[in-house]
Structure formats: structure tokens, C-alpha cells
Structure 1
Amino acid sequence: MASLPAPRLVLASGNAGKLAELRALLEGTGAVLVPQGELGVEDIEETGLTFVENALLKARHAARLTGLPALADDSGLCVDALDGAPGLYSARYAGGHGDSAANIARLLDELAGLPPARRTARFHAVIVLLRHADDPQPLIAEGAWAGTILDAPRGAGGFGYDPVFLDPEHGLSAAELEPALKNRISHRGKALAVLQSRLGGLDLAALAGTAAFHGEHA
């Protein structure tokens, strides 16, 4: 008897860095994470006023257009000296979407001259899992990673603001950390750990139990 195909989730993002991190974090669950772009889904405008609202918007959009359960992440860097900015606008802080170098340059310019004690910040992540587009009980998990903002970028790994975010426990920027360690201590890793605990080990196949989960309507 032929085995069923691996259960698929659509990731409501086209961010390659997020995809790589979430795939690593989902290893061992038996699920295949497919970026929405591979299924012909374009980004939806993020009109929410909170990370939770934006994550739900993205997940519902991807689930509705693919017929698959959707995983969405909305995250950002919140800097205390900037009253929580760039926050929701982290990916487009310098104007264009996803221009990490420009975003970092603006951030460092706005923090220029501030001592380390006033450069405190945290990454915040919200991960949402919708079983289907009209799921009235979305699973929502949050995670935070506290640190400080460096004076200049360090490291070649990670993405986004990682080169200027210093993890105080290890004394390394997020871009200098080994990927496995970063996944364990990061805001996204913590949020997914919460999600996994709520799902009893993230048994995604058992969670869905529908033909749509296996992509038959995608």
C-alpha cells in the first residue's frame, strides 16, 4: 500500500532567510514547508497594527488561495531608544522593502553616539498556524530575544538586522552565531517551541486530517 505524501504547509512569506530558519526548526515533524511564491501566491499588504494582526492577515491569505494549512511569521526589531521602532516596519525601515543594508544604515545613524546601555533592543516574533482560511481558533505563539545594537555590523550569517544585534549571553552578533544555536535562542525559535508544545510535538498530519492538507486542492 502506497504511503501518503508528506503533509504540506504553505509559508506565507517569500523571505528566504525565514524559510531556511523555519524549515530547520520544523525538521523531524514530517511536514514540508512550501513558500507561497512556489504556489503562485503573492504577498498581501500588511495593514495590521500589531505583529499578531499582520501574521493572521498573511496566513489567511495564503490558506485561502492554496487550500493548505498556513504558517505565517511576523517579526521585527524593537529598539527602546526609538520607542519601539522600527517594529512593524522593520523590513522597510529605510523605504524599500527588504533592503537590509539600507535598514541597518538608518538604524545605526539614528543611534549614533548612544552608549551601549541605551542601545537595548529585542527581536519579537509571532508565529500563526491556521488549519484552513476560516479557522476560528488560530494557534498563535510569540517569542522575544533581548540584546543590544552594535555600533557597526559584525558577521556574515543570518539576515536582516542580525549583523548589528548583539546577543549578550554569547557576546556575538546574531550574524556570528552558528545557525543551530541561533535557532535555539532566537525569537523565532522560541515562538515555534511554544507552538510545538501546544500541538503536542507538532503532529501536523494528525492535526489536519483532510485531503486539503496534502495539497490535493492546491
Structure 2
Amino acid sequence: MASKFFLLALMAMSASRALASDPGQLQDFCVADRTSQVFVNGFACKDPKTAVVEDFFFSGLHMAGNTSNKQGSAVTAVNVAHIDGLNTLGISLVRVDYAPNGQNPPHIHPRATEILTVLEGSLYVGFVTSNLENKLFAKFLNKGDVFVFPQGLIHFQFNLGTNKAVAIAALSSKNPGVITVNNAVFGSKPSISDDILAKAFQVDKNIVDNIQAQF
């Protein structure tokens, strides 16, 4: 009886791990066929015989992003939208540039864990655990330091320095997705009712209206 229970538990753990990431590989690669009319969880594969080396190549991460915006940051993504050969491989990459006092605002990657390395400058980074604890894990990072943001948790990076900062991050999905908290809450289309947001944030509706106007 105990051995059967152990076997069932092992099978359940294996299944949960299999469902916790992008679909596994059943062939060498699956270059995305963007012309296919087949709707799948990802992209259909084109005939491997038609694959070319450019399907696995991207150029541009050496170029700094434009940080002249309200957040003072720029994200250059390299995922399946930019490299067709990443389809089904379960990994992607971003470069983030930060102006002095620039930030990558609180956001979520619903489908990926992120591991970030500081290439230049210094950053204050952190993530918040789920309810009810809502514990903040935060740290100051310098060049060469590495930090991990668990999948689905709100996290951020902020450049406290007087010089620019640059980081590169790998994510455990070909298409990790991103939900920027302020955009989602105050910039949804159509807008979330100011009555709801005023009650949620315990502020006057005029404050909510002013924030929503920024988006």
C-alpha cells in the first residue's frame, strides 16, 4: 500500500513539474511557423527541412535602449517574437537600460522565473511574496551581481546611482509575458471603475481619476 502511495505521489510530482513550464521538446527544434492557421499553445512548427540559420539568430543587444521616458528605462526583449527558433525551447532574454533614477516598475511575468545580472552600474531590486504575508525581498546589486525573481511574483529594479545602469536577464519561457502593475490597474481599456479603485487603495476618487489620466 505504501509503495503504491509513493508511486502515485511521484507521478503527481512529475506531472506538476511538466505543467509548470513550456512544453517539452519532442524533436531537435520547432521553428515557429507564423503563417500557420493552426491554433496551439505557442506556435505551430514549420517543416524542419526549411529551417535556416537566421531562424536562430538575433542582433541588437549591444545597442542601448532609449530611456527618455517617464520611467527612465528601456527593455529590449529577445523572445519567440524575435527569434522563431526559440519556439518550444522554454527560454528568452532581455536587456534593460536604466537612466539615473530610472526604474523597471513593479511588474509580473506570468509564465517565467527571471534571473538578472548587472552588467553596468548598480541597482536596487526586489520582489514581494503572495498574500497574506506580502514579504519584500530586496537587495542592492553591483556589477556582476545576480538576483532571481520567482515566477508570477511582483518585482522591480531601480537605479539609485548617478550613472546609467545596464542589466541582462534570462527568463524560463519562450514567451514569458509581462504585466506592469500600474498599467494594468490604472490603464486598462475600458477603465476599471474609479469607485472600485478608490475603495481598493483607500483614497479619494479624484486621486484615482488623476492617476488614470496619466495613462
Q: TM-score range by the shorter chain?
A: under 0.3
TM-score computed with the length of structure 1 as normaliser = 0.25
Larger radius of gyration: 2
Which structure's residues are more often strand, by fraction? 2
TM-score computed with the length of structure 2 as normaliser = 0.25
